Amino acid sequence: MMTLLRKLFRIHPVTVTILLAALGIGLYLTEVPFLELMELKTIDLRFVSRGQIAHESDVVLAVIDEKSIDREGKWRWPRAKIADLVHILSDAGADVIAFDVGFLEPDNKGVMQTIDVIQSRLPDLDADTRAYLEELKKASDDDRLLAEAIENADAAVVLGYFFQMEEEHAGDFDAPLQDRQQKRIRSSRYDLVRYRSGEALNTPIIDAKVANPNIPRIASAAPYAGYFNMFPDRDGVVRWIPAVIGYRDELYAPLSLMTVAARLEQPPALMVADYGIESIRFGRRTVPTDELGRILINYRGDVKTFRHISITDILHGAVDRRDLENKIVLVGATAIGVYDMRVTPFSSVFPGVEIHANIVDSVLNEDFLFQPTWAAVFDILVIALSAACLGVVLPRVGVFPGMATVTALFFGHILFCQYLFVRQGWILNLVYPLSTILAVYISLTAYKYLVESRQKSFIRNAFSTYLAPTVVKQLIESPDSLNLGGEEREITAFFSDVQGFTSISERLTATELVDLLNEFLTEMTDIILRNEGTVDKFEGDAIIAFFGAPNALPNQAATACITCVQMQKRLAGMRRKWAAENRPALMMRIGLCTGSAVVGNMGSRNRMDYTMMGDTVNTAARLEGVNKVYGIYTLVCENTFRKAADQVFGREVDAISVVGKTEPVRVYQVLGLKDEMDGSAGEMIAHYAKGLALYRRRAWDDALRSFEKVLSVDAQDGPSRTMIDRIAAYRVDPPPADWNGAYIMKSK
């Protein structure tokens, strides 16, 4: 178990991010039922957030409301009353009358049957009486009255009916009966169906089992008809309307689209592609659908977004003609007791007739909601890119910047999708991208807590004694800048040693020696750490350190040289203090070299040191020892001096061939900070440079005079004294003819 946990904890944030992004895309493509349901809920929230669309509409509702039921009686009313409604609406100039109610059974024939009995039992009635009874029977045929009202109406009338979708009802209807019923719904059939290919003929369609049409007399009177079936989603909310239902090898249109057809006087055309239903068209007007032929309802607002007019007011002349003229009048029930209430994003008691009104208005205004053809690609890109963004940002920032990034991505995507929903009618996925964002955030946060806390603890323990607290903090916050296994990078190696420490230690007791050495090392180490250097180790009185790892320094060579100047100044002050305390003075020699080296944790499995290795390190160590040849205390390689020359001043001391190297190395003495250089220092540097050039040309006399001029400025100048002694030796024993001007060191 522990082995498994250790392997788990070694997973990189990039791996976690890739896995979660792949999981999010996989779930998106497989359409997880629960997440799909949540996505539907987000569509509801988008409607509510958008609110009502301010618009003027030609659609009005003639409603069977509580007021109408109270005055006209319990629904269902005699069809003569509906016939009166058709007459009034037509005379008022209504353009289309659509019924969200069905006339599926004959009206009450009691009066007609009574007249038939009278006529049969009284055969000797006179002609006038018989004519009267025929007129009475005719006036009592409400189905005929409604059919005639529809036939004679100036308005186009659209009838509604419904399909039974369940298999169990199919057995109740034999084939001849279904043939008769199918004839009664012909006026809602798609006569124009265009298949893009032969494969399109096999595209899946929502199929009905049985048609429940209007009675023959009424069905034959109306030029248009459409089904009013609605199929709620799994949560009971009506978000879609089936624009196509197949029945006995023919395709049929809903009440809402046939109402549009009546208004436009143009039949709908159905476009079918290989993958499913492509769209529905009224001339150049295209209604987008999904592959099953469903239209996403673009609800204009809550209940009564469209004007409701009580049918009783229409029947009793209480409605202004202008409220009906040139209007599309949808007739349906809104009374709670009639049970035609639906659940929508806006309300749980939304009249079904008003859903049809929303569709009619949406199609006429060409204002649709739909998923663009590129929506799936966009959704997948959002999942991948948001995960990638978090995978890059979260491991590199703290808690609050991470939360800000996640918040910006999370709510930014919501606002972007809502903007496109409102402005363009585009439906883009919210749940899968947002779930991925949260999953990546939670996972990477847990990763940082469970895994990086161990890494931070290691870094803190490993480097707190070698690095400045600010550097340790930097490494803890950005552990990626540290390669714990070792890496090659440019550093400036630092070696220091106390001059004559052995003889000093012989004059002190063990306690005095430890106190003196601790005080010295503490002061010197503090300066190194303050300048963000790394203390490698202590070897007795020697300090080994480096600059540029594990933390990057903008100009590590200059920083290292400045550190040396500060250390020598601080040591000079400590010598004055020690002299007052009658304690021995310490002189420190320093060697610096800038170049490539391998840095990292090296050692055994149980004991490691963060250290450095390479030729640069060896050169710095040699230069520390070379100081004593020239009687100086800070010696650096040419690379270091050139990179630091804009901040410190010094001079080239010599070119030497150190032990273990064949190529000569030019070495420089760091004298101080650039802004502290005075005229005498400049004069001394100039005389020494001239003398060194003459020395390399074997112009011994001229070189000697230049070095003596240096001594006239600084009588204690060690390099000049060394060069004067060397000139004297070369006069006795000249260097070989191929001499390159470098001095060969005899020891390390």
CA-based R_g, the chain, Å: 49
Phi, psi at 585, each rounded to 5°: -90, 145
Same structural domain, 352 and 392:
no
How far apart CA 205 and CA 272 sit, in angstroms, is 10
Whether residue 701 is contained in a domain is answered as no
**pLDDT, tens digit, 9 for 90 and up, residues 402-449:** 899 999 999 999 999 999 999 999 999 999 999 999 999 898 888 877
Total domain count, the chain: 3
Q: Which residue has the higher pLDDT, 549 or 314?
A: 314
DSSP 8-state code for residue 451: I
How much is the average pLDDT of 124-138?
59
Tell me, yes or no, whether 315 and 436 share the same domain: no
DSSP result, 651-709: EEEEEEE-TT-SS-EEEEEEEEEGGG--HHHHHHHHHHHHHHHHHHTT-HHHHHHHHHH
- How confident is the model over 616-632, as a mean pLDDT? 92
Q: Are 630 and 722 in contact (CB under 8 A)?
A: yes
Residue 673 has pLDDT above 50, yes or no: yes
Same domain, 496 and 383: no
* Lowest pLDDT segment from 91-95, 186-190, 454-458, 686-690: 454-458
Residue 748 in any domain: the answer is no
Residue 594 placed within a domain = yes
pLDDT band at residue 9 under the 50/70/90 scheme: very low
CB 351 within 8 A of CB 334: yes
Task: Compute the distance between CA of residue 727 and CA of residue 694 in angstroms, rounded to an integer.
Answer: 11
State pLDDT tens for residues 195-209.
Answer: 888 787 888 889 998
Same structural domain, 125 and 189? yes
Nearest to 94 by CA among 324, 265, 258: 324
Which residue's entry shows tokens 């594990």?
Answer: 550
Percentage of residues of the chain with pLDDT beyond 70: 87
Q: In the listed set 660, 677, 694, which residue is the last one of a domain according to the structure?
A: 677
Using CB atoms within 10 Å of the CB of residue 636, give its burial: 0 to 12 exposed, 13 to 18 middle, 19+ buried: buried
Q: What is the DSSP letter of 448?
A: I
Domain ends where: 677, 697, 730?
677
Clarify whether residues 502 and 582 are in a common domain: yes
Helix (H, G, I), strand (E, B) or coil at 340: coil
447, 517: one domain: no
Place of tokens 């209430």: 341
pLDDT given for residue 345 in this prediction: 93
- Interatomic CA distance for residues 146 and 117, integer angstroms: 24
pLDDT at 290 over 70: yes
Within a domain: residue 747? no
What's the gap between Cα 246 and its chain centre?
A: 42
Give the domain-ending residue among 631, 646, 677.
677
Distance CA 7, CA 13 (A): 13
Q: Which residues contact 731 (CB under 8 A, 6 or more apart)?
A: 700
**Judgement on whether residues 105 and 181 belong to the same structural domain of the protein:** yes
Average pLDDT over every residue of 336-362 = 89
pLDDT at 491 over 90: yes
Across 116-125, 201-210, 365-374, 490-499, least confident range: 116-125
Q: CA angle, corner 531, sides to 528 and 534, nearest 5?
A: 50
User: pLDDT band at residue 740, thresholds of 50, 70 and 90?
Assistant: confident
Domain shared by 433 and 558, yes or no: no
Alpha carbon distances (Å) from 746 to 592, 632, 659, 664: 20, 18, 7, 14
Range of the domain at 46: 2-52+372-458
CA–CA–CA angle 106, 112, 118 (5° rounding): 155
Which of 16, 42, 20, 14 is CA-nearest to residue 384? Answer: 20
Identity (one letter) of the amino acid at 606? N
Which band of pLDDT confidence, cut at 50, 70 and 90, is reported for residue 654?
Answer: very high
Contact in structure between 670 and 561 (CB atoms under 8 Å): yes
What CATH number did the domain enclosing 645 receive? 3.30.70.1230
Torsions phi, psi for 29 (to 5 deg): -75, -30
What local confidence, expressed as pLDDT, does residue 636 receive? 94
pLDDT of res. 43: 92
In a domain, 470, yes or no: no
Token pair belonging to 343: 């659940």
CB 669 within 8 A of CB 650: yes
Select, from the ranges 26-40, 300-314, 464-478, the one with the highest average predicted confidence (pLDDT): 300-314
Contact present, 463 and 472 (Cβ < 8 Å): yes
Does residue 718 lie in a domain region? no
Residues in contact with 389: Cβ distance below 8 Å, sequence separation at least 6, in sequence order: 405, 409
- pLDDT surpassing 50 at residue 579: yes
In a domain, 519, yes or no: yes
**565 touches 588 (CB < 8 A):** no
User: Which whole number is the average pLDDT over 562-578?
Assistant: 93
- pLDDT for 536: 86
CA distance 681 to 650: 9
- My answer on whether 86 and 218 are in the same domain is yes
Instruction: Look at residues 391, 388, 374, 468 and name the one whose alpha carbon lies nearest to residue 428.
Output: 374
Residues 592 and 498 in one domain: yes
Cα angle: 558, vertex 564, 565; to 5 degrees: 90
Q: Is the pLDDT of residue 327 over 50?
A: yes
Give domain status of residue 73, yes or no: yes
Residue 180: pLDDT over 50: yes
pLDDT digits (tens, 9 = 90+) for 450-472: 766 666 666 555 555 555 555 55
In contact, 641 and 670? CB cutoff 8 Å: yes
Of the segments 298-302, 503-507, 548-552, which one has the largest average pLDDT value? 298-302
Does residue 186 carry a pLDDT above 50? Answer: yes
**How does the average pLDDT of the chain come out, rounded?**
86
- Please indicate, yes or no, whether residues 429 and 330 belong to a single structural domain of this protein: no
Contacts of 410 (CB under 8 A, 6+ apart): 434, 437, 438
Same-domain pairing of 128 and 246 = yes
